[in-house]
Structure 1
Amino acid sequence: MATLDDVRRIAAPLPGSEERATTGGAAWFVRGKPYAWECHPWPSIPETERAVIATELVVGVKVADPVDALALVEMQPSVFLARTTRWGEPKVAFRMAGIEPDHLEELVIEAWCVQAPRYLRRAYDERHPWATR
Structure 2
Amino acid sequence: MATLEDLAQVLADLPEVTQGERHGHPTWSVRGKGFAWLRKFSKADIKRFGDQKPPAQPILAVNTADLHEKEGVLAAGIDGVFTIPHFDNFPAVLVELIVIDPKDLRDLVVDAWLSAAPADLAETFDG
For this structure pair, what is the TM-score category when the shorter chain's length is used for normalisation? 0.7 to 0.9
Shift of 1:77: 7.1
Q: Which residue of 1 aligns with 2:19?
A: 19
Q: Which residue of 2 aligns with 1:38?
A: 38
Supply the distance in 2 between the matched residues of 1:24 and 1:48 (Cα, whole angstroms).
23
Work out whether residues 35 and 62 of structure 2, in 8 Å CA contact, stay in contact via their aligned partners in 1. yes
- AA aligned opposite 1:110: D
Supply the distance in 2 between the matched residues of 1:114 and 1:60 (Cα, whole angstroms).
14
Shift of 1:33: 1.3
Q: Deviations over 1:34-90 (max 9, x none)?
A: 1111111134647229x625x422111011121222233233275222325248921
**Structure 1 residues 78 and 15, CA, compared in 2 at 3 Å: closer, same or farther?**
closer
**Structure 1 residues 66 and 23, CA, compared in 2 at 3 Å: closer, same or farther?**
same
Supply the distance in 2 between the matched residues of 1:3 and 1:34 (Cα, whole angstroms).
21
- AA aligned opposite 1:113: L
* More displaced 10-residue stretch of structure 1: 74-83 or 105-114: 74-83
Higher relative contact order (CA 8 A, sep 6+): 2
- AA aligned opposite 1:8: A
SS in 1 for 2:95: strand
If the length of structure 2 is used for normalisation, what is the TM-score? 0.80
- Please give the residue correspondences for 1:1-133 in structure 2 after superposition, counting only pairs within 5 Å: 1-43=1-43, 45=45, 47-48=48-49, 52=54, 55-76=56-77, 79-86=80-87, 89-124=90-125, 128=126, 131=127
- How many residues get paired? 125
Supply the distance in 1 between the matched residues of 2:57 and 2:39 (Cα, whole angstroms).
10
**Structure 1 residues 2 and 39, CA, compared in 2 at 3 Å: closer, same or farther?**
same
RMSD: 2.7
**Structure 1 residues 5 and 114, CA, compared in 2 at 3 Å: closer, same or farther?**
same
Query: Which consecutive unaligned segments of at least 5 residues does structure 2 have?
Result: none
Shift of 1:109: 0.6
